[in-house]
Amino acid sequence: MGMAKNKKLCFKCDEEKITYNCKGCSKEFCLMDLTGHRLILTSELNHINNAYNEFKQTINEQKQNPHNHSLINQINQWEIGSIEKIQQKAQEYREIAIKSSGTYINDIEIKFKDLNEQINQMQTQNEFNEIDLNYLRNQLIEITEELNNPLKISMKDDSQSFINEISIISSKKSQFNKWKQNAITAAGGNKQGQQLNQCNYPYGIFIDKNKNIFIADRGNHRIVEWKYNAKIGQIIAGGNKEGNRMHQLKCPTHVIVDQQNHSIIIADQGNRRVIQWMNQKQQILIHNIHCSRLAMDKSGFLYVSDSEKNEVRRWKMGEYNNEGAIVAGGNGKGNQLNQLRYPTFICVDEDQSVYVSDGSNHRVMKWRKDAKEGRIVAGGNDQGGNLNQLWTPEGVVVDHFGHIYVADCYNDRVMRWYEGKEEGEIVVGGNGEGNQTNQLMRPLGLSFDDEGNLYVADDCNHRIQKFEIIL
């Protein structure tokens, strides 16, 4: 600071005195106020020094305790949150694995129980031969192999993320498929009529390996084939007005394709006959039968339900001259386990067990091969719309997991049941009767294509609905 030659106003006391210039703030102070000004500057320096010492202490503390850094704390919180997520995922997958294992064991137990009942039945009735014993022996071998080779479950490691997530990969496809609830109209849907783009109360349907749809177009007395994604169908049998001549049909209720000889077999119910069409040539296979629906097993046996006699019979390929063998019912109309009451749709599994939609008993029955009575596998709790009930069941299909799919006609829905369970679940429909894409109106025939898409003969809407599987 330099001494001024002349008196000037002091910045602090505002009096003319000999002043001294502060180069820091460029202001003039008298000697007394300059001293006070310096004290203020000294105090501020001390504050800065204290802050420095505090900062130095903080640095030393962080050097000595690096885990207390705020970023480290953030990382710690991230770690805790990640561990919680991993633990939640791990528990979720444990539950999936336990559930899969339980379902697998239940499947084997059901098969084991069936086998035990067959053994007991043979022992009680004392009616068996070498063929029966070989069958039982093979069944036991199959169940044993299945038990010793359980469903494989593995973990798939997703290495794309920093924290690897796992997912359960099963050696089989999911046993609990789901379908889109809004259907695509695969055939018909252009009001009731007899044009090639229309249907008239379609009943039974069959889907071949090329996804072509064969329809028993009952009200038009014809069988129509709709090629995959076609806009119109083509008549392949009947369509020559209602009649009983060989080239005519009367109210056909079902059609199946015999892919071995490329023919179609028709339940020509109104004419009380089962008729085969091959290359526009017709042959009556079975005469004088109130044929309701048809099925064919992998060995080529033909099964026919008779809703008048309340029974299901089986014929060996090429041996249609005899009366066939009764495989379900045949004990008069009734609701006992050895009886049926207006049976309609039927299907046969790989073990030649017959599943029958027992319409007026509002249940689906399973009759094992050579059994004297059936077992209720769906419904059987009177007519109704609860999950443990059916109302005039129609189409029935069983997949290789043992799930039973039923067209629950007057509830306007398709149900899935698992043998031994008290209740079923709604697969599609169940939204009241109607013609919207998520509604059905008196569903009858059911079928799946090779991809697992579900087809429903939506009878009173005169259309075939395709519900796409959700992969």
User: What's the CATH code of the domain at 432?
Assistant: 2.120.10.30
Residue 431 within a domain: yes
DSSP string, 391-457: SSEEEEEE-TT-EEEEEEGGGTEEEEEETT-S--EEEEE-S-BSSSTT-BSSEEEEEE-TT--EEEE
- Predicted local confidence at residue 2, as pLDDT: 46
Confidence of residue 4 (pLDDT cuts 50, 70, 90): very low
Q: What is the pLDDT of residues 320-372, one digit of tens each?
A: 888 999 999 999 999 999 999 999 999 999 899 999 999 999 999 999 999 99
Mean pLDDT on 123-134:
78
Residue 330 within a domain: yes
Kindly provide the residue ranges of all beta strands, DSSP E only, lying in 198-323, ordered along the sequence: 202-207, 213-217, 222-226, 234-238, 254-258, 263-268, 273-278, 281-287, 291-296, 302-306, 311-315
Residue 160 within a domain: no
- Predicted local confidence at residue 141, as pLDDT: 80
Confidence of residue 261 (pLDDT cuts 50, 70, 90): confident
Compute the mean pLDDT over every residue in the chain, rounded to the nearest whole number. 88
- Predicted local confidence at residue 462, as pLDDT: 97
Q: Token digits for 152? A: 């494989």
Q: What is the DSSP letter of 340?
A: B
Q: Token digits for 431? A: 């939204």
**CA–CA separation, 270 vs 252, rounded Å?**
7
Same domain, residue pair 56 and 182: no
CB 358 within 8 A of CB 341: yes
- Using the 3D structure, point to which of 39, 63, 87 is the last residue of a domain: 63
- Domain range spanning residue 260? 178-470
Max distance between CA atoms of the chain, in angstroms, equals 144
Same domain, residue pair 58 and 186: no
Residue 113 within a domain: no
**CA–CA separation, 97 vs 295, rounded Å?**
37
- Predicted local confidence at residue 96, as pLDDT: 72
DSSP string, 122-138: HHHHT---HHHHHHHHH
Same domain, residue pair 388 and 262: yes
Q: What is the pLDDT of residues 28-42, one digit of tens each?
A: 889 889 899 989 989
Report the 10 Å Cβ neighbour count for 186.
24
**CA–CA separation, 362 vs 389, rounded Å?**
7
Angle formed at CA 403 by CA 402 and CA 406, multiple of 5 degrees: 135
Does the pLDDT at position 317 exceed 50?
A: yes
CB 429 within 8 A of CB 444: no
Q: What is the pLDDT of residues 166-220, one digit of tens each?
A: 554 444 444 578 999 999 999 999 999 999 999 999 999 999 999 999 999 999 9
- Torsion, CA 331, CA 336, CA 342, CA 346, rounded to 10: -90
Residue 112 within a domain: no
Residue 386 within a domain: yes
Mean pLDDT on 302-310:
96
Confidence of residue 3 (pLDDT cuts 50, 70, 90): very low
Mean pLDDT on 424-447:
96
Beta bridge partners of 367: 354
Q: What is the pLDDT of residues 399-417, one digit of tens each?
A: 988 899 999 999 999 999 9
pTM as predicted: 0.66
C-alpha closest to that of 304 among 318, 289, 317: 289
- Torsion, CA 445, CA 289, CA 353, CA 126, rounded to 10: 160
Same domain, residue pair 193 and 316: yes
Kindly provide the residue ranges of all beta strands, DSSP E only, lying in 74-201, ordered along the sequence: 153-158, 165-170, 184-188
- Predicted local confidence at residue 174, as pLDDT: 44
CA 215 remoteness from chain centre: 25
Confidence of residue 85 (pLDDT cuts 50, 70, 90): confident
Same domain, residue pair 407 and 284: yes
Strand pairing report for 454-458 and 443-448: antiparallel
Same domain, residue pair 53 and 197: no
Domain tally for the chain? Answer: 2
**CA–CA separation, 295 vs 395, rounded Å?**
11
Confidence of residue 151 (pLDDT cuts 50, 70, 90): low
- Using the 3D structure, point to which of 23, 42, 63 is the last residue of a domain: 63
- Predicted local confidence at residue 84, as pLDDT: 83
Residue 346 within a domain: yes
- Predicted local confidence at residue 116, as pLDDT: 84
C-alpha closest to that of 203 among 271, 276, 252: 252
Residue 105 within a domain: no
Same domain, residue pair 253 and 395: yes
Mean pLDDT on 281-296:
95
Same domain, residue pair 365 and 225: yes
**CA–CA separation, 66 vs 60, rounded Å?**
10
- Predicted local confidence at residue 69, as pLDDT: 66
C-alpha closest to that of 187 among 146, 231, 219: 231
**Residues near 424 by beta carbon (within 8 Å), at least 6 away in sequence:** 378, 379, 387, 388, 406, 415, 416, 417
